[in-house]
Amino acid sequence: MNEKPSLKPWAIARQLPTLKWLIIARYRSRSDADGHLLLLRQRVPNMKFKVVFELFETTR
């Protein structure tokens, strides 16, 4: 399997009821991801979100 570095390594993940994490958006910089995370937490305060860093983007 060929894996290449992602151009958008920062992502926002949301925790599902099954306790799995789902990537909902990707960003090129940490500051962009943090800014959108603040917005999401204000708009949807009862959901759990996290900023994560992924070295490689996996494709299936």
The per-residue pLDDT for range 4-56, each reduced to its tens digit, is 556 899 999 999 999 999 999 999 999 999 999 999 999 999 999 999 998 76
* Amino acid 1: pLDDT: 41
For the chain, what are the domain ranges?
Answer: 10-53
Longest dimension (CA), the chain: 40
* Amino acid 16: pLDDT: 93
* Amino acid 4: pLDDT: 54
* Amino acid 47: pLDDT: 92
Is the pLDDT reported for residue 2 higher than 70? no
